[in-house]
């Protein structure tokens, strides 16, 4: 499958998609401002960047374990249609749902420009969309896509989305979770860019957000706090708070799924490399012999969860083992210093001591 050939290279088509995005998100903004760093990058990402990344990274990652060809796909939180349009190039039928009107405007223009007849984008949120699914894309489905979705939901919304997604699948179907921050790592790199932020109670987080180095995040939160405590609480949720294995265990008790891919494959690793905090989480889980699947030990969750099919042989699931070694940054600096000085024996003794 030559996915590279599916890139949009026609400048007139790219220009039409770009104009749709600028018109929906930056109406009346001066051209000079559109060329400023962050805005220009955002426009490029929503014109072609995310679409191309889905073709080059996301689809190959899924294809490692599940054949998308001809699949019936529900994408929740489809945004401006980048990933939905890319997946529609391979799948049989795609329904994308997105509650934001400006996003839908761009998504539908994208489909029109690209001439795609097997993908639709409609104004629904999750879990409400499942009340209408029989009329929109009747279950059972082959795939439910949840990319950068769960972290923006309330707890009831999140649990219902997972449960109803599972119930809508055929035997052998999959839920794909991607770009979802793990609440159990120390660094909140998604929303506040603060250490330990996701460990705070909501009431304290609503007072501590002002320490965030992200000026836009603080500005938005300040504006909501000026309206009401409830508005600030709602915005904190919608901007995104991490997800963990507990969410999945509550929504899908007994872990009825098979994990076909867990985020340690080349494509997710290229997008999100292993961090120090992630290693600490792995070490903690290994040391205490906790029953936590490796998919929930990454700082950003990338997982493909399959509904068992009694008539098909169980696929081989990834096997991962992590060392209980939990060295500090200073320990690692000492090891590196010894190695750079040629003190290999001393470095080895230090590593062995740390591993005890």
Residue 151 to residues 155, 213, 226, 244, 253, Cα–Cα distance (Å): 9, 20, 24, 10, 20
> Average of pLDDT values for 273-297?
90
Answer yes or no: do 142 and 184 share one domain.
yes
> Is the domain of 219 the same as that of 108?
no
What is Dmax (Cα atoms) for the chain?
A: 69
Q: Domain of 343?
A: 325-356
Are 355 and 265 found together in one domain?
Answer: no
* H helix runs in the chain, sequence order: 11-25, 31-34, 37-44, 50-53, 59-63, 82-88, 101-114, 133-136, 155-168, 202-208, 215-227, 229-239, 245-251, 266-271, 276-287, 329-340, 344-354
* Domain-embedded: residue 205: yes
Instruction: Specify if 332 maps to a domain.
Output: yes
**98 and 74, same structural domain?**
yes
Confidence band of 313 (pLDDT split at 50, 70, 90): confident
One domain for residues 205 and 337: no
Same domain, 143 and 235: no
- In this structure, the answer to whether residues 100 and 218 fall within a common structural domain is no
Please determine, for residue 140, whether its predicted confidence score (pLDDT) is greater than 70. yes
Question: Does residue 62 sit in the same domain as residue 140?
Answer: yes
> Which CATH number does the domain housing residue 301 bear?
3.40.50.150
Asked whether the predicted pLDDT for residue 35 surpasses 80, the reply is: no
* pLDDT over 60 (residue 29): yes
Residue 141 and residue 16 share a domain: yes
If you average pLDDT over each of 20-34, 110-124, 323-337, which comes out highest? 110-124
Whether 251 maps to a domain, the answer reads no
Does 314 have pLDDT greater than 90?
no
Q: What is the pLDDT of residues 213-271, one digit of tens each?
A: 999 999 999 999 999 999 999 999 999 999 999 999 999 999 999 999 999 999 999 98
Same domain membership, residue 200 and residue 168: no
Asked if residue 338 is part of any domain, the answer here is yes
Strand, helix or coil for residue 281: helix
pLDDT > 70: percent of the chain: 97
Task: Report whether pLDDT(356) > 60.
Answer: no
* Pair 136, 283 in one domain: yes
Report the pLDDT value the prediction gives residue 355, as an integer from 0 to 100: 58
pLDDT digits (tens, 9 = 90+) for 168-227: 999 999 999 999 999 999 999 999 999 999 999 999 999 999 999 999 999 999 999 999
235 in a domain, yes or no? yes
Same structural domain, 175 and 52: yes
Peptide bond into 170 cis (omega under 30): no
Name the pLDDT band for 139 (thresholds 50, 70, 90): very high
In a domain, 202, yes or no: yes
Structural domains of the chain, count: 3
Backbone angles phi and psi of 128, in degrees to 5: -60, -30
Residues linked to residue 94 through DSSP beta bridges, in sequence order:
73, 119
Is 296 part of any domain?
yes
């Amino acid at each position: 499958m030559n996915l590279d050939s599916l890139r949009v290279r026609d400048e007139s088509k790219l220009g039409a998609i770009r104009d749709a995005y600028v018109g929906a998100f930056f109406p009346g903004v001066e051209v000079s401002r559109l060329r400023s760093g962050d805005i220009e990058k955002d426009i490029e990402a929503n014109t072609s960047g995310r679409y191309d990344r889905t073709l080059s990274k996301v689809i190959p990652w899924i294809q490692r374990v599940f054949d998308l060809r001809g699949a019936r796909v529900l994408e929740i939180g489809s945004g401006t249609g980048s990933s939905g349009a890319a997946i529609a190039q391979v799948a049989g039928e795609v329904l994308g749902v997105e509650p934001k009107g400006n996003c839908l405007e761009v998504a539908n223009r994208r489909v029109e420009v690209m001439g795609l007849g097997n993908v639709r984008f409609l104004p629904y949120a999750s879990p409400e969309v499942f009340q209408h699914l029989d009329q929109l894309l009747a279950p059972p489905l082959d795939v439910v896509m949840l990319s950068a979705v769960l972290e923006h939901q309330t707890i009831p919304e999140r649990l219902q989305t997972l449960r109803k997604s599972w119930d809508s699948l055929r035997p052998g179907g999959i839920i794909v979770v991607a770009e979802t921050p793990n609440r159990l790592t120390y660094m909140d790199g998604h929303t506040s860019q603060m250490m330990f932020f996701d460990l705070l109670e909501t009431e304290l987080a609503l007072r501590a957000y002002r320490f965030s180095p992200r000026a836009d995040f603080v500005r938005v939160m300040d504006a909501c706090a000026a309206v009401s405590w409830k508005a600030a609480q709602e915005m904190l949720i919608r901007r995104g708070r991490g997800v963990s294995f507990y969410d999945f265990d509550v929504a899908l008790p007994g872990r009825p799924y098979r994990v076909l891919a867990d985020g340690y494959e080349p494509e997710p690793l290229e997008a999100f490399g292993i961090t120090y905090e992630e290693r600490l989480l792995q070490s903690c889980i290994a040391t205490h012999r906790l029953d936590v699947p490796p998919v929930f030990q990454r700082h950003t969750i990338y997982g493909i969860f399959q509904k068992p099919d009694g008539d098909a042989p169980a696929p081989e699931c990834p096997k991962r083992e992590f060392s209980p070694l939990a060295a500090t940054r200073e320990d690692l600096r000492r090891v590196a210093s010894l190695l750079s000085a040629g003190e290999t024996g001393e470095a080895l003794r230090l590593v062995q001591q740390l591993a005890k």
